[in-house]
Structure 1
Amino acid sequence: MTDTVRGNPAREVCEVRVRVRGTDQAAGDWSPPLRIETGLLTPTDWTARAIAPHEPHRPERSDADRRPPLLRREFTVAADVERARLYVTAHGLYEIEINGRRVGDHALAPGWTSYHHRLRYQTHDVTDHLRAGANAIGAWLADGWYGGRLGFGGGHADPFGDRVALLAQLEIVHRDGTVTVVGTDTSWRAGQG
């Protein structure tokens, strides 16, 4: 799935092996091969768009706990899946599932970041989460560091923004080389947890 048209090495897959040399310059054994791949490297690699649940703007924040927004989309998959990757991040925190099965083991994902400068994302191999036919992907969102309360003495509310959002791009590679993309867009349904 390497993007060779533009010379972009996004999604490139390769195997690496390493070995070390001691102070006597004797080389150790080669490690077993490790398969690695690059993620999405430029903004143009993303076809998904960040989506925020429809909720009123909060000009005056309440200290009451807010119910977490839920986002969901159904999609159909052909039986010829070779591999599937989910690239995902959020303004706030997320937990995501495919067909009711949690993706990854991260807690408080995507982790602390300075949202003014970067947005970290995770890549997950979700090949075994998919099944031929009907599938569903869903996520819970929470304020986290993005729109929570940070600092001492009561802290500051909404340090980076006041609306949580999800950015997710599921890329399904079929055996014939075609790719199906299921990304966050206006077709996703939203509700409150």
Structure 2
Amino acid sequence: MSSRFAIDVPPELIDSARSGALASLERLYRLFERPGHNLALRLLSDPEDAHEVLHDAMLSAFRRLHQFRGDCPFWAWLRQIVVNTALMRQRSRRGHDAHAQEIPDFESAVPDAGPDPLHLAEAAQVERALDLLPAVTRSVVWLFCVEGYSHPEIARAMGQSVSFSKSQLARGLARLRRDLGVEATSHA
């Protein structure tokens, strides 16, 4: 599994979109529609919420195109907007959704207990197992393992501590290993 966000966007397309050219805005939307929806779906596990997050994030990005300085790839900038929008949706939903209950934060992370289950199991099995994780844990696992975010980046995005991110990842991977029947021995 890997992020599909790494799409090179010509600077001319961004400049054209900044000037308000509808064809350029539509082209940017079409380029990132699928990866944006997939990322939101992974973080939220609800197709309707993912669809709304995609639209909200793209509108936000289009309104803020003048803020894109080009010091990172456009796709990374847009991906962060999608992540932030999805996490805001997740926070607002948390009180209403029993499935989104968090695993508590612990000061020290659970030590790594073996191979990454996301790379050892069949994709369909991983999808089902991810959907069973609490929303916050699923988000941390996805952002770290698939999107390549660091623990400090995840902590900052979620308004939590680095140890929170590490403990959620360790607990999420342990649960995935258990649910997928992946052996928990380390391959040194």
- TM-score bracket, normalised by the shorter chain, equals under 0.3
Please identify which structure carries the higher strand content. Answer: 1
TM-score, with structure 2 as normaliser? 0.28
Q: Which gives a bigger RCO, structure 1 or 2 (Cα 8 Å, sep 6+)?
A: 1
Please identify which structure carries the higher helix content. Answer: 2
TM-score, with structure 1 as normaliser? 0.27
